[in-house]
């Protein structure tokens, strides 16, 4: 059996690389590696510090004292050991310079900015219907408001004949002055009677409408969306009118009303008619 000369056997590149990286692997035992977004900052800082010296590190620590991204410069930070390890690697020439992220990683972010979508503004034609069960209460005492509401409920339940009876019975009671058509609260009282009547004796079309909204929630969402668009449209119109008035005011103010020339003077005789 022929003998083998070990010195003549070529060593593969992979074996050499493993032997060269062995000290680095041993020196990194026990080091806490930061997440990728923090590691990129640590690697860049370590590269600059390795080239420019500890003065550069002190300058960064002073300038970024309130920046949590540079907490790794503090000896008590969990990633400080990894930072020191990277500085040593860069000084010895074994560190790999951090590379900028590939452009493909940001394509999903850049595309919407580069090619923004054109959104057409929806212009509602007609105003939305008024709320059927909403009526702002007047500025009166809570007791007077309860009297108005309770009377409206009884009128809605018992009909107009009950209203006539109450008016005759309480015609000298000032608490029921709102029953008179000339009173300021009469319109509010009438509105409450209409609303209570719809609740106690609802018409068929109202029941059908509520049933449709219950079974089809999208119907409600469409109504809400239309009301929002109408409010935005009203705001745009109001702003446009205000800008037009402001433009007219500025144009009017720019006229020099004292800069004029008398072209001719016309005298009218007392016997002449204008």
Burial class (CB in 10 A: 0-12, 13-18, 19+), 86: buried
Selected residue with higher pLDDT from 189 and 216 = 189
Task: Give the pLDDT score at 27.
Answer: 46
| Cβ–Cβ under 8 Å, residues 47 and 97 | yes
Task: Name residues whose C-beta falls within 8 Å of residue 73's C-beta, 6 or more positions apart in sequence.
Answer: 45, 57, 60, 61, 64, 80, 83
CB 113 within 8 A of CB 119: no
pLDDT at 1: 42
The reply to whether the predicted model has a pTM over 0.75 is no
* pLDDT the model gives residue 28: 55
What is the C-alpha to C-alpha distance for residues 153 and 256, in angstroms, rounded to an integer?
65
Burial classification of residue 198, based on how many CB atoms lie within 10 Å of its CB (0-12 exposed, 13-18 middle, 19 or more buried)? middle
pLDDT value of position 274: 57
Tens of pLDDT, residues 17-47:
444 444 444 445 678 888 888 888 888 888 8
Please report which confidence band the pLDDT of residue 128 belongs to, taking 50, 70 and 90 as the band edges: confident
Question: What's the CA gap between 28 and 50, in Å, rounded?
Answer: 18
């Amino acid at each position: 059996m022929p003998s083998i000369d070990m010195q003549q056997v070529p060593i593969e590149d992979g074996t050499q690389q493993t032997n060269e990286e062995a000290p680095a692997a041993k020196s990194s035992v026990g080091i806490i590696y930061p997440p990728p977004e923090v590691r990129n900052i640590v690697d860049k800082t370590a590269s600059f510090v390795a080239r420019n010296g500890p003065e550069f590190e002190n300058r960064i620590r002073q300038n970024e004292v309130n920046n949590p991204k540079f907490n790794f410069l503090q000896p008590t930070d969990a990633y400080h050991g990894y930072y020191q390890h990277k500085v040593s690697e860069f000084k010895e020439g074994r560190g790999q310079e951090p590379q900028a992220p590939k452009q493909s990683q940001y394509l999903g972010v850049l595309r919407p900015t580069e090619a923004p979508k054109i959104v057409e503004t929806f212009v509602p034609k007609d105003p939305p219907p008024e709320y059927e069960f909403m009526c702002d209460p007047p500025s009166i005492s809570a007791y007077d408001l309860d009297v108005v509401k309770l009377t409206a409920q009884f009128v809605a339940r018992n009909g107009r004949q009950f209203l006539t009876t109450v008016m005759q019975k309480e015609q000298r009671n000032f608490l029921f002055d709102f029953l008179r058509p000339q009173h300021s609260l009469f319109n509010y009282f009438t509105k409450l009677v209409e609303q209570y009547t719809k609740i106690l004796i609802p018409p068929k079309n109202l029941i059908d409408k509520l049933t449709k909204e219950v079974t089809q929630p999208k119907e409600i969402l469409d109504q809400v969306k239309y009301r929002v668009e109408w409010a935005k449209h009203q705001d745009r119109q109001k702003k446009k009118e205000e800008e037009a008035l402001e433009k007219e005011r500025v144009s009017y103010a720019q006229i020099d009303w004292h800069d004029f020339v008398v072209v001719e003077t016309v005298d009218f005789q007392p016997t002449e008619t204008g």
